Structure 1
């Protein structure tokens, strides 16, 4: 079902191996060499498929195509609905460069792409329709990317590791101002993320009820004092703006989450990581949540430009944006990570990395990757709660490759 050369050549290869192949041409513009190869191998050209195929190869449009699909393509997809689909380069009907959708599109079981991953493979909502993505390196000279996805070696190279002479203060002190009498668990989980071992010390400043919980669960956590980074906002309720202003007085990098995001203008232009989910980002930008969910890459970039700082948009594919840098997308994680308190843990992890010396862009993207892998490890294929994710973080760090020269 294609006019694309790659798909026609794939059909020719399958026909030479003994498969029965039909090509349904949906356009008069056909790749001549691919069509000739298909016919020479015994493949047939048809104007309609009258039976359910075992596999559909989607080459309706190439990477230069833009949604929406033409009516004849939509009709063709309806007739083969239910058959496994292998997409060539990207599923037809998605916006390759933005990951956005507009109308019907192919939902592939497998996408085979060439040279490099495209934004549509990585960024939702299009990424949900790519299935498993198999990259084939064909030796292309590639331009600088607009979107990146960190891999284990990248995270290992970024991760601050203590030298032999390190002590708790040289490794960084992270402070947490989170939780309240209304939401004590949020403060406890923020501390749990911060206390994963990536920084040398954690300080907690906040509600006495939360402090009692923190001391019981994390006796190594201490009280007020000098810090290299703050984590602010999770579960702070009405006190969020006040705690944010107190943290800003120390003039150190900070993570701004949850209720404190309503005061995000206070941190514009400062070294910070704002960590909204789609609803919170919609409120920050004064747009409907549905707009953020339909165009997450666009909106996270818009928020980063507006606030002149780093923005981490939480979701199935978490995005990190900073002005002048490629957006980074987190591909680690599990659907079980959609659980209460997981964002509180994430904020603590990112804060620990800030305190340990990473700049906000790297702290946000590496922290998100570690958080996702820890959830997968803790889950073991089943349900997971936020506290399990925090406890799994040290084991994840231990599995990372040791960077050369360290």
Structure 2
């Protein structure tokens, strides 16, 4: 599991270590130098190669300067460009003592740039003046110290301009933006500098393969169809008839006891469905619907009144407003960014700049579970640590993909009774399958069983 911490948490922990005299900057500098030397030696030796340090006034600048000193001792030619009026004093002194050279303008070509400009406490964004001054190094491989300059640690301002590195070396711990940024960090690598963050609660986590498997239902030989989960589906319309079929097929692909649906139209396409009323363990409402009929609303409310768990998507999202507050903890909604902004505008003001904060504010207000679909899908539940799904590919941005996801999560909810865990595992399975996707949503369903392996 990847655990990401807020800037405030990182500062608290680091302050404790620094008060005991632990040389954190020295450790960070050696880690940065190690990664930089690896990048330099991919195709050539490091000796005689030219490196530029972009230096600010904070600790990231100090890390870069000390790392520059280490590289100088290995025969690398290192120059530093100060982008602020002052720099880390002891780092600057050590850099010069080792033979480093300060420059005021970019007069050489470089083999590598190390971004130590903005640090942990910096706001999102980088000035156009700085970006303009650095145009000459565009295309040069870049290593970012902890975070690229322009990306804040806590996930704010994700839509602001920033430097785009080849590699980002996270120092000590993951920060929120390490997990939220889908492309702005290059390859992200975490280095251990001997700090234990167990005293702090993570601000965001990401599950990995083995942990997801622990969330999946266990099959028992004595199971019968009612014990393997019964899923109800209210979905599909004349406008979008295929959405419900995709959700049902996705649920069937992962194995389930029974699927009940109100619509006999599905029977010709999916003969496994049962169209008679009866017991269900979980309910999907909304895929392919424009809005709910009174009958569909009543059926959903009756299910909730019995304590049933429910997934609302697409045409059912607006129905959340009609659901009593005390029943909303039984609900997960699964909008993409556009749907979220359309239905819940008061909570979507900074959706693209800070999606995590928007999602948390929404869940605090409504009391339901939220899966916010996107390049980095977020799962936020009341009173729980938020989760980000880091599996997937651009191939999932295709019609019907969200309907498949609803079917996966509905399957797991019916079989386990656990909303949050089903959303975490469902998003992961969906994303992992999507990494092999070449066509559309129907192919995605065929891949799903293999994503469980």
With normalisation by structure 1, the TM-score equals: 0.89
In terms of mean alpha carbon deviation, does 236-245 or 93-102 score higher?
236-245
Tell me whether 1:82 sits opposite 2:134 in the alignment: no
**Contact 1:91/1:111 (8 A) holds in 2:** yes
**Contact 2:392/2:431 (8 A) holds in 1:** yes
Matches within 5 A, 1:255-404: 255-267=311-323, 268=325, 269-287=328-346, 291-377=350-436, 379=437, 383-397=438-452, 399=453
Match 2:187 to one of 132, 145, 165:
132
Distance 1:19 1:290, change over 3 A: farther
Q: How many Å separate the matches in 1 of 2:363 and 2:298?
A: 20
- Give how far 1:99 is off: 4.3
Structure 2 equivalent of residue 237 of structure 1: 290
Q: How many Å separate the matches in 2 of 1:78 and 1:27?
A: 18
Q: How many Å separate the matches in 2 of 1:70 and 1:390?
A: 45
Q: How many Å separate the matches in 2 of 1:290 and 1:210?
A: 39
Aligned partner of residue 187 in structure 1, secondary structure: helix
- Give how far 1:294 is off: 2.6
Distance 1:245 1:90, change over 3 A: farther
**Contact 1:330/1:365 (8 A) holds in 2:** yes
Q: How many Å separate the matches in 2 of 1:80 and 1:53?
A: 8
Structure 1 equivalent of residue 225 of structure 2: 168
**Cα deviations across residues 192-241 of structure 1 (Å, max 9, x unaligned)?**
221122533222222x33332222xxxx3323321100011011224466
Question: What value does the CA root-mean-square deviation take over the aligned residues?
Answer: 2.1
In terms of mean alpha carbon deviation, does 169-178 or 280-289 score higher?
280-289
Structure 1 equivalent of residue 211 of structure 2: 154
Distance 1:221 1:137, change over 3 A: farther
Answer with 1 or 2: which has the greater Rg: 2
Distance 1:289 1:241, change over 3 A: farther
Tell me whether 1:222 sits opposite 2:274 in the alignment: yes
Q: How many Å separate the matches in 2 of 1:76 and 1:17?
A: 29
Q: How many Å separate the matches in 1 of 2:241 and 2:142?
A: 48
5+ residue gaps in structure 1? 400-406
With normalisation by structure 2, the TM-score equals: 0.80
**Cα deviations across residues 51-86 of structure 1 (Å, max 9, x unaligned)?**
332221111011121134356533433342222221
**Cα deviations across residues 230-270 of structure 1 (Å, max 9, x unaligned)?**
01101122446642431231231011000110111234423
Tell me whether 1:73 sits opposite 2:159 in the alignment: no
Number of residue pairs aligned between Structure 1 and Structure 2? 387
5+ residue gaps in structure 2? 1-53
Aligned partner of residue 237 in structure 1, secondary structure: coil
Aligned partner of residue 139 in structure 1, secondary structure: coil
